[in-house]
Amino acid sequence: MRESTPLLHNANKIWGRTGAERTWLGSLGASSLVFLAPVGTIVVYIVLTFFEGSLSSFASSVAEEGLDAILVKYTPRPTFEAAFAIAAWVGFQAILFRFLPGKIGNGQYTPAGHLLSYRLNGLSAWIVTHAVWGALCWFGLFDPAFIARNWGGLVATTNLVGVLVAGLAFAKAYIHPTHPHDRKFSGSSVYDYYMGIELNPRLGRDFDLKLFTNSHLGMMIWTLVDFSNMAYQYQTLGHVTPSIVLLSALQTLYVLDFFVNESWYLGTIDIAHDHYGFYLAWGCICFLPSIYTIQAQYLGLHPTTPPNVYLAVVFAFGIAGYVMFRSVNDQRHQARLLGHQCRIWGKPAEFITASYATTDGRQRESLLLCSGWWGWSRHANYVGDIVFSFCSCALVGSSHPIVWTYAAWMAMLLAHRCIRDEKRLEVKYGDAWVEYCERVPWRFLPGVW
């Protein structure tokens, strides 16, 4: 049954994706992305593998031969090895997710008033996964460069798997929804396929598809792709370069941080507001492994040797970006846990009390933090993340624009996310949000934006 009461309609505006009614333009945009985004991952693979990372060489060949001819010539096909590896990977991760012990954490209240609990075993799953991978490689049972060597087949196959999983999520939302009143329909099937219908779809009571896909498939594979490219560089070059070592160190720190702080992730937009559709399912199964790791892929194929001083400075800035990102997120996490008992930078934290209604008709309360980083700008965590991502691209030391894709993507993603989140928060908290914006007028950088 579709939600239609005034209460549900009102609550629909304060959570999840925008717009109860999509225009034809919105549907066209969503359908273009469903087609163009997978093509984008294929083009990135082709440029890195066959054009030495040069977009201009790729563009010249396209101008000469035509895009269709280039795509036909170089597009990777799904392979048996890739399909088998992905099936084994998903199966192994599902077992770890289901059976490894972990602390229980709570998400945020959903619009229908559910407070879902999650078993947080991401860190132990990361350790087990990498230990098993290390042991298999050590005893010669698995090629550490397998991912890099089979990258074309893996990109093609993860594209198909991501599209398929999004399709199954779409069907499940109609046939067997986990929380029927937490679904959101836009009136456009294409848009619903793209953005998702169910907020927190589960298999059974506990197997949360969104947490599994985002964290145990997407984030988990990131470090393995980096390590595999490092191994490939070693096998082809005879040694590993400082740039790939520092890049992998920086990204491992980010991934490990994610798993160490998994309970914090439950309060982020991904889990609390984004629905489970193509955007998240395909995004975490295919886009994240393909695009976030471009730097390591580039260095695996085309090693660079920037000066050590340059690498040291960029690495230090990367660490600074990470420290900022972590400290901002920690402050909000502590504020949510401790409320008025929380102290920030040695002083009692200051808050604006904001209220909102869930669809069960209950009035609930949030505290908007106005101290520390959250008094400096409204999204200082995004600033730290953007600095970090630019540094991880700069570590490659190449002038090819393609190695900057991750940083450009993060800047766009987070700027867009900030705008859409703030629109939602204005509706959700009303005057309290306006008061917060007056008190903290800057979104990212004071004096800039």
User: For residues 437 and 378, is the Cβ–Cβ distance under 8 A?
Assistant: yes
CB of 386 to ligand NDP, least distance (A): 8
End-to-end Cα separation, the chain, in angstroms: 43
Mark the segment that binds ligand NDP (CB under 6 A) among 27-35, 71-79, 262-270, 314-322: 262-270
| Residue 27 to residue 65: CA distance in whole angstroms | 32
Determine the size of the site formed for ligand NDP (CB under 6 A): 20
Residue from 269, 312, 323, 408 binding ligand NDP (CB under 6 A): 269
Residue from 329, 358, 377, 392 binding ligand NDP (CB under 6 A): 329
Max CA distance (Å), the chain:
66
User: Number of C-alpha atoms within 13 angstroms, CB side, residue 354?
Assistant: 23
CB of 250 to ligand NDP, least distance (A): 13
Q: Please, which residue, 241 or 295, has the CB nearer to ligand NDP?
A: 295
Residues 171-230 that bind ligand NDP (CB under 6 A): none
Question: Binding of ligand NDP at residue 146 (CB under 6 A)?
Answer: no
Residue from 85, 296, 369, 391 binding ligand NDP (CB under 6 A): 369
Whole-angstrom CA distances from 308 to 231, 266, 315, 390, 403 are: 21, 39, 10, 18, 19
Q: Please, which residue, 52 or 270, has the CB nearer to ligand NDP?
A: 270
| Residue 209 to residue 197: CA distance in whole angstroms | 13
| Residue 211 to residue 200: CA distance in whole angstroms | 9
Question: Binding of ligand NDP at residue 294 (CB under 6 A)?
Answer: no
Question: Binding of ligand NDP at residue 325 (CB under 6 A)?
Answer: yes
Residues 85-144 that bind ligand NDP (CB under 6 A): 108
- How many CB atoms are closer than 10 A to CB 295? 29
User: For residues 262 and 133, is the Cβ–Cβ distance under 8 A?
Assistant: no
CB of 289 to ligand NDP, least distance (A): 12
Mark the segment that binds ligand NDP (CB under 6 A) among 81-89, 145-153, 267-275, 302-310: 267-275
Question: Binding of ligand NDP at residue 263 (CB under 6 A)?
Answer: no
CB of 262 to ligand NDP, least distance (A): 12
The H or E element spanning position 418 is: helix 405-429
Burial of 316 (0-12, 13-18, 19+ CB in 10 A): exposed
Residue from 93, 157, 366, 392 binding ligand NDP (CB under 6 A): 366
Region label for 365, one of left (φ > 0), alpha (ψ between -120 and 50) or beta (otherwise): beta
CB of 185 to ligand NDP, least distance (A): 21
Q: What is the distance of C-alpha 302 from the center of its chain? A: 26
Q: Is 448 helix (H, G, I), strand (E, B) or coil?
A: coil
> DSSP per residue over 13-36, as a string?
TTSSSS-SS--HHHHHHHHHHHHH
CB of 381 to ligand NDP, least distance (A): 3
Q: Which residue has the tokens 């593998």?
A: 49
Mark the segment that binds ligand NDP (CB under 6 A) among 27-35, 42-50, 143-151, 366-374: 366-374
Question: Binding of ligand NDP at residue 332 (CB under 6 A)?
Answer: yes
Residues 384-423 that bind ligand NDP (CB under 6 A): 385, 414, 417, 421
Question: Binding of ligand NDP at residue 268 (CB under 6 A)?
Answer: yes
Residue from 311, 368, 396, 432 binding ligand NDP (CB under 6 A): 368
Q: Please, which residue, 114 or 428, has the CB nearer to ligand NDP?
A: 428
| Residue 295 to residue 293: CA distance in whole angstroms | 5
The residue ranges that bind ligand NDP (CB under 6 A) are 108, 268-270, 272, 325, 329, 332, 366, 368-369, 374, 381-382, 385, 414, 417, 421, 425, 428
